Structure formats: C-alpha cells, structure tokens
Structure 1
C-alpha cells in the first residue's frame, strides 16, 4: 500500500510548483515505483510516508556525507538553536566557524557563508566582476549546474524568463580542452572577468589542465573560480583543488560541509574577498547579505562535521567504499555479459553509473528500468552518493540488489523496455519543454 505517498504527492503538486523545492527531487527524475514523499532518514536509510525503508544513494542531493541524523552533528545543531539560533549581530558561532573554515581550506583567507550554493557561486561571480571590472563569464559547458541566477540559467535550455541581455555575457569552454579556453580568451580576453568550473565530476581533469587553465586566465587578468559544491568535503577535507594541487582565486562550497544542514560558502584571497567588506575606501560591493546566512544551527553542524571528518577520516571511507562498490557493480555487469551496457565510472569517492542500449547510446529508459528494479530490491539509487554510514553491510546489500536488477536490464536489452518499465523514463532537468 502506498496511500499516503499518493495523497501527499498530489498535495505537493497542488501547493508546490514541480512538487518539490529542488528540480532534482521531482517526479520526472525517478521511476514510477520510487517513494514519492519521504518521512525521515537515519544513517544511510530513508523511510517514506508509508514506512517503507530504502537504502539511499541520493543522500539529500549529495549533501549528506556522514549519515542522516548523525547524533554528534544533530546535537551540535540543537545546542546552537538553544542559544537563540539567529541573533542581532555577528555571533561567536559564525566567527569560530569562519576561522575554522579558513584554517582548514588552503588559499581561503576569508569566507562568506550563505544558505545555498547558487547564492555562493553568484557571489563569487559578482566578486570577480567587481575585482576585474569586466563583464563576461567563461563557464564549463559540460558541468551541469552552477546557479539558479540569470547569468547561468540563461545559458541553458531552461532560459525562459531570463532577459537576453543577461544571457549574452556568458561564454562556454570544454572541460579538458585547453584550446577552447585559449580560443575564448583570444576572442574576448580583455572582457572576461572569470573562468568557472568544477575541479572534477565523474570525469577527472587531465594532467596539467587545471594549472594551465589558471595560467591562461591570469595571463589575461581574469580570475578562476572552482565550484566545489560537490567535490569539497568529498574528494578531500581540504577540497579537490588541494587534491589536484591547484590554487584558484575563489572557491565555493556547500553540499556535505554541514552534513545536510543549509550551509554554503564563497571563499578566497583576502584582496578579492575584502572588496565585499567595509574596511577599504574603494567603491562598495554589495556581496551576500542574508538574514539567515549565518544561522547558528547550520554553522554549529558545520563545525561538528569538521571534527567528525578529522577524527574518523571520512573522505578515506568514501574513497574505499566507493572503490568496493565500483568493483562489485562492474563485476556483476561483467558476469552477466553486459559490461558494455552498464558500467560504474569516475572517482571512487563519487562514482557514476552509465546505462547504454545495444548500440552504445546512453539510454534514459534503461537507466530508469535499473532504478526501478533497485527500488523493488530496497535501494534508492538515482545516482551514487556515498556516506560514512555506507558500511560493509550496505555495500553487500547494494551489490546483491544490483545483481537482481541487472538481470532485468539484460532481458530488456534483448526484448525492449516496454514490457518491463512501469511509467515514463526519467528526463533531463535542463530541457526546453516538459
């Protein structure tokens, strides 16, 4: 029975555009049999409103890196709530959080906290424009999301509502293609305020690419922003920029830095960050100013998350368990003879699975079928986001579920998905029409 799921899902679409407050949580991103409304989470598991339990690999859009309701982090947040949570002036909590952040992340002399990644990234872009006096933004075309603000969304398929004037200042380059970076600078060099990209996704940077990109940008007096919303606190506690041995001008963080609490950050060199402050005699830059940006519960959670990371070496756990999961899932596909159609790739700390049809083309219907069958076997896997709470038992459970699920995928490869897939295939978030 899924009565509560159905009723609350209808209510969600009645009162919330898209049925959720993040498009990645929408019905069009999950198979028909996936839980539509969740009730709670604990460790690596979630329960829906009908009390069905699932081993989760969505992990709150990758923001949970330790585990749902991890006692130490939850209690730290509750203690901050009891202090008043949000006071009239800067709090001791936010000062200590800022200090600990800057002492942890190399190259970050100052930090400004925000409540979501979009605001932090757009703040970095504003800083770059103000610092350089230039308007153009050169962004990586292969990296899926930077911000809901016009400068980025206007350069996607979902550009409705964005003035053309806002779209015209955003340019693209290709990841791991330094020639595309140089070509953009050859055409717009003295007008480009910044280059923005993620240090890595499921595709890692080629040797020397990031350092050469930074050199080209600096030769043209442009800044480099590395968006570490996903890579930060997953690749390394010090960030993927440190992992790959490069130093951008500005960095943005979010997702796992507070184990699911709403904390994001823009940080970087003092001379850049300080122009958003009040201790200079230059023209003012109105950077990020939010009533809840330094909410104490989130920053308390961040501070405790830092401690847990250091004491329990969380990132090593993510790498090790990710490697075991990759080997297990790829082994199942190989044993079934479908390793060309199903594979798990990318860095072990953040692996990604690909599902292709018999002709080798990425197939959304087959991907949806795999997700559907994993749900049947108790695993919610829209993507793969590991946490400290994904232990040996969880990895074993996932591999066993995948063996059953991939048998169905193999049958569908031979006879088509129509007789196996319930409902519609998932769709890309960035598409022109529903």
Structure 2
C-alpha cells in the first residue's frame, strides 16, 4: 500500500511501487501552471486585478493537510486487491450573473419601537433554499443598526426582485441590498438626531469614544423609519465576439480538494476514505454556515464522482426515484477536513465571496484523480462504475 507521507528515502524504497499504467493513460498531477497568480489577468479578460489574487493558495492548503487516513486505514486491507490513491482537484467559479446582465436585488428595512425597544424588520424577495440567507439578513441588520430584535419578513416580490437563488449570488447581492438599506436607515436616524459623529450600538447612539448620546427609542419615538434600496454590484460587460475577451464576471471563487480513496480492483468497488479541502470565501460572515456549504457541495461532488447518474433508455428515465438514483448518505461521506481562507474581495460587501457552488467543481475531479492514481486507468467519465475498473 502506498504511503501518503514518506519520511525518508529508505521508507520510500520500501513502499510498493505504483501500478503500471495502461498505454495512453495520463499521469495524475496537479496542473499548477493553470493556477491564478498575483497580478495575472482574470480568465476571459486582459484586465489585471486591483489586488493580488489567491494564486494557488487553496491548493497548497489542501495539500498541507495531514493525511491521517493513510496509516489508519492500512490495517483494514487484508486483501491484496485493494489499492489506495490520492488525487487533487482545483476549481474556479464565477459568482453572480455575468456579461452585462442587470444583476440586482431590492431590500426594505424598517426601524421602529415595539414594546419599548427598537425593532427592525427586513423584507426581500430572496428565496431561502437552505443556504442560510435568512440568518445572514438578520445578522447584517444587527451589525449595521445595532439592534437585537430583528424580524425577517416572508419573502415575496411585493418589495421588488431579488433574482434567483443561483450563481452563488444571494449573500453577495441580496446581502448587499440589505446592507445598503440599513445604511440608509442609519443615515436617517442620525439626521433626525442632528448628529453625524455617532454610530448605532446596543440600541443607543454612541460616539467613537463610547459616550452614549441618546437612546434609539427616544430618537425614533412613534415615527418609524423605513428605506427601500435597489442594489447592484459593479457592472460587467459582454465578451468581445471576435477576441473572446472582456470583463465578464464580477467575482471568482476558488476551491481545491484532495481525495484519498481505496479501490478494490477485482470487484470494482470504490470507497472515499478522506477528503481535505481549502476554499477562499473572502470573508466568512457566518463561519458555521460557510463550512456547512463547503461540506454539502463536496458531498454533491462525491455523488457525481461515484454514484449519481440518470439512466435513459430509448428516451425513458429508468431510475426516476431515489430508490434507484443513489445519492450520498452520511454513511458515504468520509471524514472531511476544511480550511476556510479569508482573502477578502474589496469590491464585495464585507469582502465576501460566493461559497455554495465552488466545492462541487473541484471535489469530483479530485476523487476521480485519486481513482486513477490507485488503478492507473485513464478514466474519462463520471460516475466511475465498477465495470470501468474491472473491464467487464
């Protein structure tokens, strides 16, 4: 069984050699020459970023993770037909709508006194689909207005559009709209108080030195303040039809994965033993949700790599239920080690980056690369099925 970490040359000589690869099989390697470097023009544009990009920082972070599963699992392989492989995958994903699309969201924030304390209500049309957007909206309002009681109204389009919950964009775009609406409310509060040298904190107007100027309840009285803001990120532009160049995307997200697999080459069975991943999230507004998104996206990539496939025969779907269309369960997901990199985007609200989709891009190729490393086979499709490994 190959070791993942070889301490010296003697141990390296003792390790079993890699299996011989078939003719034409591509040697697994991390394609570092494709990585985004500092000052390098972004894909699809000749424009260089205002600040250095991640430049391979996600990939080294994933590679530096100790491969704990390597030694621990060796004793469970009494059969010589089981081989271990390690593979890497690196992904880049645009965030938001692109190529000049008018990408915006609308938010309404109302600040009033209820039961003797300041209460904020935030209303958008953004769809919560499990990504944690309701929590983020309330978190932004608490941060910007300094109040504890926040109600997130049921999403609907009476307030305006928020666009779709796709393209890893809602925290960026709707979060930006909520932040802008809160800033408008705060400005109105300060105008009413006749002060421009204070901030809102703990339900009070407070100076930088911590001096309490007034209670927010007294400033509001029985006159609520409500602001509605339609917010847009910086503009994008269509690609030039002749050159294929252009400033088409507002932001990129970066992720890297390392996968360790055990492959029974006689039965064609694959078990993903461990996954390590690193992702640049800009700034983690809610760290627990961020890690959950990364873990969930990685699990989806695992499903694509070795399990999920719609079977179509003569135009008919043969596995139309989750009895036959298999998705990963908690028993299929291996130990997962996540490094969250916070390399803020200066043009985004709070420096954040979209998080949800990037893990699905690099996790699948990492797992397939690990299977290639274990078997020496030039696998070129997913999911990898037993017959692809046994040749039957």
Category of TM-score, reference length = shorter chain: under 0.3
Q: Which has the larger radius of gyration?
A: 2
Higher relative strand content: 2
TM-score (norm 1): 0.24
